[in-house]
């Protein structure tokens, strides 16, 4: 799957986190076609937008603790 820009990748990342279907960081970076440092930057960007994101070691997925009010 190819993405045109950062916005599409961030939207897809939000969708995967909403579904709690991200896998670990290595799997997630492959799914959104970015490097690991870029994935960390994207997660930080979402956090700066107000998303509280955590990772569950048991389920091996990122998830939202809260979502900002749109």
CATH of the domain at 13: 1.10.10.10
Number of domains in the chain: 1
Q: What is the pTM of this model?
A: 0.84
Is residue 1 included in any domain, yes or no?
no
29-56 confidence digits (pLDDT tens): 999 989 999 999 999 999 999 999 999 9
Burial pattern 31-69, b for ≥16 Cβ within 10 A else e, equals bbebeeeebeebbeebeeeebebeeeeeeebbbeeeeee
The contacts of residue 31 (CB under 8 Å, 6+ apart) are: 1, 12, 16, 22, 23
Residue 31 belongs to what domain range? 6-66
What lies within 8 Å, CB to CB, of 54 at 6+ separation is 62, 63, 65
What is the pLDDT, as a whole number, of residue 69? 54
């Amino acid at each position: 799957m190819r993405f045109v820009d950062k916005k599409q990748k961030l939207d897809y990342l939000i969708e995967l986190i909403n579904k709690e279907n991200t896998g670990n960081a290595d799997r997630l970076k492959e799914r959104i076609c970015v490097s690991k440092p870029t994935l960390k930057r994207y997660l930080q960007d979402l956090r700066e937008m107000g998303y509280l994101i955590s990772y569950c070691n048991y389920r091996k997925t990122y998830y939202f603790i809260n979502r900002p009010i749109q």
